[in-house]
C-alpha cells in the first residue's frame, strides 16, 4: 500500500512538500511551528470492538467467540449458551444500516445447540469479566441501556480520539512552547449514539458471515461518535456530527456537479457523474449512514458555529 502511495504521491517538482508515513499518531507531537490538519476517513470503523450484553441483574457480560467443534469427551446432546445475533442482510457497505443499541432492546440470549456451518460462534460469558465491567461503565450513557441490550464498545477508538484531541488542541498563552493546534474531519459509518449489532464482514463487496474465512474479509462496526466526543471534548471544540449528505450539500456539491456536467464530453459521462453524486448524498444510503464530525483546536462559543456545521434555520411561520 505504501509503495503504491509513494508512486502516486510524487512532489518532485515542489521541494517544499514532504510526504511522510507514520505507524501511529504517537509518532507525531504537537508543534508550536506547525498547524495540523487531520482527516480520518473510514478509519474508526475498522478498529476492534468488544461486544457486551446487559443481563437481568444489570451487569454487563462479554460476548466471546467459541469453536463449533465438539470435543470427543463432550456429550453430543449438551446444550451451550449461544448469543443469537441477526446479522445485517444488506449486500453492500453503502446499504448497511446503523442499528442502535436501543433502550428498549429485546435481543436476548437463548440456549441452543451449536448448529452453524461456520467454525465459530458467539457465546456469552457466564459471569462479568474485567473487560465487560470496565467498558460497560466507560460512559454514563451505557448505564441507561435496559436488560437484554447489546453494546459494541471500542476502547481503541477512545484512546485514538484522545490523542487526536491532544494533537489538535491549541496551546494556552503562557505555556513554554504553545502548540499552534489544528483542525480535523472524521468521516465514517455511525451516529451520535451507541450501537449494539453492527459488526459485519465484507468480502468482494458483499456482506458475509463474520466467521466466514477469518482473515480474508474486511470487518467493520459503526462508530459511536458520542464516545469520540467524550474522549476529546475537553481538549478541542467539536462540531456535529452531521449527515454526509447535508455536509456535502453545504460544501457546494451541487455547484461542483454542475461544473463537471458542463465540461463532460458525453451524455454517458454526465449520467455517471449524476449517479455518483446522488449516491454520495442518498438520504437512505451513504448520505445518511456516513456522518461527519468536525474538530477545531480553538475554544469557540456555541453562538460561533463553523461552516458547514451550522444548525438548520426553522422555516418562517
Q: For residue 174, count CB atoms less than 10 angstroms from its CB and return exposed for 0-12, middle for 13-18, buried for 19 or more.
A: exposed
Distance of alpha carbon 142 from alpha carbon 6, whole angstroms: 43
User: At residue 233, does pLDDT exceed 60?
Assistant: yes
207-216, 242-251, 287-296: which range is least confident on average?
A: 207-216
Rounded mean pLDDT of 295-308? 78
Rounded mean pLDDT of 279-304? 87
Angle between helices 267-281 and 253-263 in degrees, nearest 10: 170
Question: Where do the domains of the chain lie?
Answer: 23-70+77-296
pLDDT at 108 (0 to 100): 37
Q: What is the widest separation between alpha-carbon atoms in the chain?
A: 75
**DSSP conformation letters of 74-95:** S-TT--EEEE--PPP--SSGGG
User: At residue 74, does pLDDT exceed 90?
Assistant: no
Rounded mean pLDDT of 194-201? 94
User: At residue 30, does pLDDT exceed 60?
Assistant: yes
pLDDT at 81 (0 to 100): 55
Residue in the block written with cell 465491567 = 133
Q: Name residue 185's beta-bridge partners.
A: 39, 294
User: At residue 79, does pLDDT exceed 50?
Assistant: no
Rounded mean pLDDT of 136-146? 95
CATH of 23-70+77-296, one of 3.40.50.180, 3.10.310.10, 3.90.700.10, 3.40.50.12710: 3.40.50.12710
Could you tell me the pLDDT band of residue 78, with boundaries at 50, 70 and 90?
very low
The two beta strands, 218-220 and 80-83, are unpaired
Q: Which of 4-18, 34-48, 111-125: highest mean pLDDT?
A: 34-48
Higher pLDDT residue, 213 or 94?
Answer: 213
Residues 85, 197 contacting (CB under 8 angstroms): yes
Within the chain, residue ranges assigned H as helices are 2-8, 130-136, 155-168, 225-232, 244-250, 253-263, 267-281, 286-289
Angle between helices 155-168 and 225-232 in degrees, nearest 10: 50
pLDDT at 216 (0 to 100): 92
Could you tell me the pLDDT band of residue 110, with boundaries at 50, 70 and 90?
very low
Q: What does the pLDDT look like over 251-263, one tens digit per residue?
A: 999 999 999 999 9
User: At residue 72, does pLDDT exceed 70?
Assistant: no
Q: Which three cell numbers stand for residue 117?
A: 456451518
pLDDT at 143 (0 to 100): 93
pLDDT at 118 (0 to 100): 76
Please choose, from the candidates 226, 62, 223, the residue with its C-alpha nearest in 3D space to the C-alpha of residue 140: 226
Report the share of the chain in percent with pLDDT over 90. 62
User: At residue 242, does pLDDT exceed 50?
Assistant: yes
- What average pLDDT does the chain have? 84
Distance of alpha carbon 152 from alpha carbon 194, whole angstroms: 7
Amino acid at each position: 500500500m505504501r509503495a503504491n502511495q509513494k508512486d502516486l504521491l510524487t512532489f518532485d517538482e515542489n521541494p517544499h512538500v514532504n510526504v511522510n508515513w507514520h505507524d501511529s499518531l504517537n509518532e507525531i507531537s504537537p508543534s508550536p511551528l506547525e498547524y495540523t490538519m487531520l482527516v480520518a476517513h473510514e478509519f474508526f470503523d475498522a478498529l476492534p470492538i468488544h461486544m457486551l450484553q446487559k443481563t437481568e441483574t444489570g451487569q454487563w457480560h462479554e460476548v466471546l467467540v467459541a469453536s463449533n467443534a465438539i470435543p470427543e469427551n463432550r456429550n453430543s446432546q449438551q446444550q451451550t449458551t449461544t448469543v443469537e445475533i441477526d446479522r445485517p442482510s444488506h449486500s453492500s457497505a453503502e446499504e448497511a444500516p446503523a442499528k442502535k443499541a436501543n433502550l428498549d432492546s429485546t435481543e436476548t440470549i437463548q440456549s441452543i445447540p451449536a448448529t452453524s456451518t461456520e467454525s465459530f460462534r458467539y457465546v456469552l460469558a457466564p459471569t462479568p469479566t474485567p473487560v465487560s465491567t470496565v467498558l460497560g461503565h466507560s460512559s454514563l450513557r451505557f448505564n441507561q441501556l435496559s436488560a437484554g441490550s447489546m453494546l459494541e464498545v471500542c476502547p481503541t477508538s477512545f484512546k485514538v480520539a484522545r490523542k487526536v484531541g491532544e494533537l489538535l488542541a491549541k496551546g494556552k498563552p503562557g505555556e513554554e512552547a504553545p502548540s499552534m493546534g489544528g483542525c480535523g474531519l472524521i468521516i465514517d459509518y455511525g451516529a451520535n449514539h451507541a450501537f449494539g449489532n453492527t459488526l459485519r464482514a465484507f468480502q468482494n463487496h458483499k456482506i458475509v458471515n463474520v466467521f466466514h474465512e477469518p482473515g480474508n474479509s474486511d470487518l467493520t462496526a459503526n462508530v459511536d461518535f458520542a464516545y469520540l466526543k467524550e474522549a476529546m471534548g475537553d481538549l478541542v471544540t467539536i462540531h456535529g456530527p452531521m449527515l454526509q449528505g447535508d455536509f456535502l450539500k453545504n460544501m457546494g456539491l451541487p455547484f461542483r456537479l454542475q461544473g463537471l456536467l458542463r465540461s463532460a464530453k458525453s451524455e454517458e459521462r454526465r449520467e455517471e457523474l449524476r449517479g455518483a453524486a446522488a449516491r454520495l448524498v442518498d438520504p437512505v444510503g451513504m448520505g445518511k449512514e456516513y456522518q461527519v464530525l468536525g474538530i477545531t483546536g480553538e475554544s469557540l462559543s456555541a453562538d460561533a458555529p463553523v461552516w458547514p456545521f451550522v444548525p438548520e434555520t426553522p422555516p418562517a411561520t
